[in-house]
Amino acid sequence: MKAEIITYKTKGMSNSKRSIISKSIFGYTDRTKKAQYTYQRKGILDSIPHLTITKKTVVVTSADATKIKKVIKDRGATVNSWKIDIKEEEMKKRSG
């Protein structure tokens, strides 16, 4: 299976912009009314099979890589990616 390793850099960005990028990719838990209610807000990776390597590095299929890179670039971060081959079983086993 064709895949890509995607990593991004947020050097020089404010903490709020870094947070926005992370939340849009990975999602987050939203707490309201003094944590009485909690909601899981989805990120783009919630609907895409992926492997998370570090906080800023993920492996996704080549078909989904353009979506991830667009989200990151639109928010002002620097993106690097490398094409790789990975066994489909590995992607499914780890993205569970």
pLDDT at residue 91 in the model = 75
What CATH number belongs to 2-95? 3.30.70
Place of tokens 């209610």: 37
Overall average pLDDT of the 51-71 stretch:
93
pLDDT for 96 beyond 50: no
pLDDT at residue 94 in the model = 58
Residue 64 · residue 5 · CB < 8 Å:
no
Our CA angle for 25, 27, 31, nearest 5°, is 150
pLDDT for 28 beyond 80: yes
* Domain map (residue ranges) of the chain: 2-95
Residue 8 · residue 80 · CB < 8 Å:
yes
First to last CA, the chain: 17
pTM: 0.84
